[in-house]
Amino acid sequence: MTQDVLTRIEGPIGRITLNRPKALHALTLEMCHAMSAALTEWASNDDVRAIIIDHAEGSRGFCAGGDIAFLRNSALNDGGVSGRKFFHDEYQLNHQMFAYEKPIVAFMDGVTMGGGVGISQPAKFRVATENTRFAMPETGIGLFPDVGGGWFLSRLGGRLGQFLALTGARLKGEECLWAGLATHYVPSEMIEDLKARIAEKPDRIAGILSEPVGTPPPARLEENALKIAKHFASDTLEDILASLEAAAADGDEWAQKERDTLGTKSPQTLKVALRQLATSATLTDFADNMRMEYRIGSRVLTRPDFAEGVRAVIVDKTHDPKWDPLTPEGVSEELLDQIFAPLPEGEEWTPL
């Protein structure tokens, strides 16, 4: 059993605490397995009436993502075999949480990115604080907003999901509440008291989380909501870039900033994300979404942009990735078809 996740029962509550502070609790395969095993065990334990997921005290992260260094090593050294195994089992955990019959409370108190989004968004209660920093920054490293990102982001209003998926924009806690990515906003100093009260009355979670809320700060994101809806309206990347370009030419500094941001991202990943969200929006079963994302992940993991993006942004920190293809026009519909195509029989993703 890994010490990077602490699982225990406290009264009527199953507790899962991420405990890998030096990596901001980024998920390893062993951590995914430990969480999944605990959830499986508690599902049939009538004494456990609710689940709390949080992180060890004293660190800035709820969960900063998945183990990117491990995935890059897999892409470079074993043809993506171990990386696909990681995706497969991590996605099983995401689906297990989504379908879980007992209420899950995720305290997103700190950095909540990538894999951290994957273990918070399926929860019935998603609690943001003044410390929350939420993002799906995968387009910057040639990956894509996976772990169920297609499902959750495509269901936000006003093309907000497309904006977040493409730009990797970071949201504060009050913005997560406004967007619907969080169900509640509480001051971080109240979290321990709230956990104790949930343990006392696990059937009153919604009321307990709603009581302490003063008025959260105004969501800065709301100021740009109309611009986001306008400029990110299309599922075609070239349309979005042209819209931002036209507004930037008219002196719109926000449009100029977002255009420049998109210019740093992997063109392949931007187009993958748009198709991913458009497809997810048509699905009615979360398992079908995870099956699609596993297909994408299996392909994208070993394409040039992922290893190159991680090198430029995380390993060397030079921020000068050489994307392949280099331009949006170079990312053909045929390439996208290959990335989204079904896997060979026996290799498709399956739920637990």
Catalytic residue numbers read: 66, 115, 138, 146
**Cα–Cα distance for residue pair 134/107, rounded to 1 Å:** 12
Instruction: State both tokens at 351.
Output: 């739920």
Angle at 235 between CA 229 and CA 236, to 5 degrees: 115
d(CA 249, CA 244): 9
Rounded to 5°, angle at Cα 150 from 146 and 153: 115
Instruction: Give the closest residue to 131 by CA, choosing from 198, 216, 23.
Output: 216
Residue whose pair of structure tokens reads 């509480």 in the numeric block = 186
Q: Which residues pair with 7 in a beta bridge?
A: 16
Residue 181 tokens read as 């990515």
Q: Amino acid identity of 72?
A: R
Three-class HEC string of 107-155: EECCEEECHHHHCCCCCCEEEECCCCEEECCHHHHCCCCCCCHHHHHHC
| Lookup: tokens for 43 | 């599902």
Which run of H or E residues covers position 28?
none
SS3 of residue 148 by DSSP: coil
**CA nearest to 310, candidates 27, 67, 47:** 67
Distances (CA, A) of 305 to 74, 308, 323: 14, 5, 6
CA distances for 238 relative to 142, 235, 270, 327, angstroms: 18, 9, 10, 10
**Of residues 261, 231, 65, the one with CA closest to residue 169:** 261
